[in-house]
Amino acid sequence: MKNKKLVRSLVFAVLVFALILTLCDLFEYGNDHASQRIETYQQLEKNTVDAVFVGTSGMDRYWIGPKAFEENGITAYSLSTEAMPTWLLKSMLIEATDNQSPKLAIIDMRSFMLSYDGGEINDVRSRRVIDVLDFFSYSRLNAIHRTLKVLSKWDDDTSRFDMSFFFSFIRYHSLWEEESFSFDELKDPESKYMGFYVHENLSIAPISKIGADVTTQEREPLDPLCEQQLYELLDYVAKQDYEVLFLDTPHCYNELEAKRMNTLCDILDEEGVSYFVPGVDRELYDLETDFYNDGHVNYYGAEKFTEMFAEYLTENYDLPDRRGDEDCDDWVGVYDVIKAQIKKFEQAAEK
């Protein structure tokens, strides 16, 4: 009798845990682009990605990985999310090496330009990363640990052991009460673009007038949290097998960003870490057609950046030509899919 009760208890516990996992999968932060990007990366053939971008939207808006594959043979994937918090860069690098062995990690310099003392610390930016990582993965546990460590220090309302980060349905359970709720809305659409951001409006929208570049030789200290996370990250990557390149994709600086970028470059120089800051090359980019705001290129600008940066990578890093590699079939034809989708956007806009 005791054995039967034990078995029943175990079965009940397993069913409850399975239900919890299902709810966590259904109820997570609604960010289709991030979900598609990370889940597609997780499904790629093992050890077929030779370079990985980690950081903010300054990565996935600029780098058309399938274009670089078709034209240069490079397999480089943007594993990024919008406004990714500085403290999650390490977690994303852990995720990047879970099923892949990249030779190069390209880290977004924009992440270190933020001012967290101005209200930029919030749970949303962290959840859009945490919620789409595999439930039992080390990268997810690392991301939760790092997030709660930061949030509990800076926000009195956040507990060091906030269980809603582990079980997302606690945070989003109110979705059940919404009359418009549908399970179809919780399913991520099929990912087609191998990390590149494609959007019906932003991909083809030009900006009416891009801001003026701010250039200065002055320095401004990094936000204290950013500086702390930078040194932690540098200590971590120094122990890894891959090379590291910090990258600032072209955009218009404001005065504070320009001064902080100078400071960041000084630190990287002192630490002997490579970085690339191409700036807004006005001979390369058409400022009336290639950006959709001061901080991001559209598809036309991304085409130009990808061509330029793929050439830079080819000249400076020993990345293999993966064209013809059967294990990289996931990359084949994706650039054509992207171009076809952009063409549809253009035709719709003309009507």
Distance CA 76, CA 299 (A): 18
pLDDT in tens, 307-339: 999 999 999 999 999 999 999 999 999 999 999
Of the listed ranges 141-150, 243-252, 296-305, the least confidently predicted one is 141-150
330 versus 149: the higher-pLDDT residue is: 330
Please, which pLDDT band fits residue 80 given cuts at 50, 70 and 90?
very high
User: Which pLDDT belongs to residue 248?
Assistant: 97
User: Which pLDDT belongs to residue 212?
Assistant: 72
Distance CA 3, CA 213 (A): 74
Range 110-117 average pLDDT: 84
Nearest by Cα to 329 from 15, 43, 83, 34: 43
| Secondary structure (3-state) at 35 | helix
The tokens describing 69, both together, are 């594959």
User: Which pLDDT belongs to residue 156?
Assistant: 66
Residue matched to tokens 């997570």: 28
| Secondary structure (3-state) at 36 | helix
What the chain holds in terms of domains, given with CATH numbers, is: 2-350 (3.40.50.1110)
Q: Is the pLDDT of residue 102 over 70?
A: yes
148-155 contacts, C-beta under 8 A, 24 or more apart: 149/87, 150/85, 150/87, 150/121, 150/225, 151/121, 151/123, 151/126, 154/116, 154/121, 154/225, 155/121
Among the residues of 175-333, which ranges form H helices?
Answer: 224-237, 255-271, 299-316
Distance CA 246, CA 100 (A): 20
User: Which pLDDT belongs to residue 32?
Assistant: 62
pLDDT in tens, 16-48: 555 555 555 555 545 467 778 888 998 999 999
Using an 8 Å Cβ cutoff, are 181 and 222 in contact? no
The tokens describing 102, both together, are 């990249």
Q: How many CB atoms lie within 10 A of CB 54?
A: 25
Which CA distances in Å does 312 have to 233, 261, 284? 24, 21, 15
Measured at the CA of 117, the angle between CA 90 and CA 55, to 5 degrees, comes to 30
| Secondary structure (3-state) at 132 | coil
Query: At a CB cut-off of 8 Å and minimum separation 6, what does 119 contact?
Result: none
Please, which pLDDT band fits residue 295 given cuts at 50, 70 and 90?
very high
Nearest by Cα to 297 from 269, 311, 320, 278: 278
Query: At a CB cut-off of 8 Å and minimum separation 6, what does 24 contact?
Result: 135, 167, 168, 169
Cα 242–chain centre separation: 19
Residue matched to tokens 């682009």: 33
User: Which pLDDT belongs to residue 285?
Assistant: 94
